[in-house]
Amino acid sequence: MAPPERREPQAEARVDETRRNLLKAAAVAGGASLISFVALDKQKLRAVLKPVDLGDLVGEAEAAESPSELERRAQQKTIEMRKLCMAEADELCRREGENSPACKEARRRCSMIKVKATPPKPGVRFAMALDVNKCIGCRRCAYACVMENNTDRLMHIEWIKVVSVRREELEILNTDWQYKDAPKKDMVYIPMACMHCEDPPCVMVCPVVATFKEPDGIVVVDYDRCIGCRYCMTACPYGARHFNWRRPYVPPDEINPNMHILGNVIRQPHVMEKCTWCIQRTRDGGVPACVEVCPVGARVFGDLNDPESPVRRVIEEYGAFVLKPEAGTRPRFFYFFGPARTPPKEGEGGGGSTQ
């Protein structure tokens, strides 16, 4: 990728001032994600946002800690999760009958539960990138995330929020994350979740070291340590932290039995939770559920240290941008503008709205 153009100091100051004015931290009320991201065309955006320098992204990964204690806890958690699941399955079977499909599926899933403690692979540094020109705002990523990560079905906690912003509008407040129809030609859709920052403020403020950054770049929460103080929620510039006010309820016939001790185990009440880039998948060589389910291929995921990984190729070919660079968090969730737009501009054919 070609090095960024050098600007004169006065021009650099003007750009920085513009960036500060346009990318102010938006207030986050009631868990709603209001973003400081400007939906402009590619050239205007390049003039306002700070591009990502690939040289700042790659490097030596940190050494992994010994997983023995985590593995022991994972074995205990497997027993706990199976017991919890079986209790819910018994209740379901009493209601539906032992021979009902729901009862049989619940018992099958409960018996399959295994909580892993898969450690990070040496030398790997995960990252994700999203093509703003492709995203159609369908929210399939958010729905898949709920199903994959055993998220509560009653509190409406979603680790991924998708907001709708007018393509040519500079106003950064009052973005719509409750839109009903998509895609629309004049709108840009911005999915947001944990940015898995290189310098995560949530880690800095946690008083019990319940949240920390793993050597492969995934920022995790140890639910057994979390005391629910919500300092991390306050510190996060992206509104990516969620507090559960009760034990998450997942129907036993919908439980994902593939679990990780630092990921999608069913959480106890009054702890913080967030996206983990589907640690139960990615550390076994897979991709996050949001990447797999996206119908237009707007998301890419991979190892920044691998020149052949999809996310590395995207950054090298198209460049990339981050939300709120002024926060100094160095996110590892990137946005880029690919070569095609969905739906296309007027006169390009195709497009329309999905009702």
Hey, what CATH topology would domain 9-27+34-66+116-336 get?
Alpha-Beta Plaits (3.30.70)
Q: How far apart are CA 302 and CA 309, in angstroms?
A: 5
Q: Residue 339 — pLDDT band, cuts 50, 70, 90?
A: confident
- Confidence check: pLDDT of 17 > 50: no
CB under 8 A, 24+ apart: contacts of 78-81? 78/113, 78/114, 78/115, 78/259, 81/113, 81/115, 81/259, 81/265, 81/266
Residues 225 and 350: their CA atoms lie apart, in Å, by 51
**pLDDT at 66 exceeding the cut of 60:** no
pLDDT tens digits for range 246-305: 988 999 999 999 999 999 999 999 999 999 999 999 999 999 999 999 999 999 999 999
Per-domain residue ranges for the chain? 9-27+34-66+116-336
| CB atoms closer than 10 angstroms to residue 347 | 5
How high does pLDDT run on average in the chain? 81
Q: Decide if 200 contacts 231 (C-beta within 8 A).
A: no
Asked if residue 217 lies in contact with residue 332, where contact means CB atoms within 8 angstroms, the answer is yes
Q: Which of 187, 189, 191 is nearest to 169 (CA)?
A: 187
Sign of CA dihedral 314, 197, 275, 355: negative
Q: How far is CA 338 from the centre of its chain?
A: 20
